[in-house]
Amino acid sequence: MTKQELIAKAAAETKGYGRPLTQADMETALHTLCNVASAELLDGGEISLPGLGKLKIKEVPARQGRNPRTGEAMELPASRKVVFSMSKTLKETMNP
């Protein structure tokens, strides 16, 4: 699903809630949500997405790796990455 498809579908879903949002409103809401979520993750927090799961930062320690082109061993530095933990509800829905 592309960003525009997501915006269009989400805007259409709001029609049943009394005050439908336009696609422009939905795009602004999505952009704002992404900015707030990014800032929270960069500060070391976690984001709960009700019904979906949680996004959080995981520290990855330095490790040995291999250059796929040459096969030469190389040291990969420590880093941080975003991980997603699926909610119990979504997990049960996906795997009945």
Q: In this predicted model, what pLDDT tens digit does every residue of 20-33 receive, in sequence order?
A: 889 999 999 999 99
All residues at 6 or more sequence positions from 30 whose CB lies less than 8 Å from its CB, including other chains: 3, 6, 7, 10
pTM equals 0.73
Domain range summary for the chain, segments of one domain joined by +? 1-43, 46-96
Class of the domain covering 46-96: few secondary structures
Q: In this predicted model, what pLDDT tens digit does every residue of 17-66 receive, in sequence order?
A: 888 889 999 999 999 999 999 999 999 899 999 989 999 999 999 999 99
Contact at 8 Å (CB) between 51 and 90? yes
Dist CA 22 CA 28 (whole Å): 10
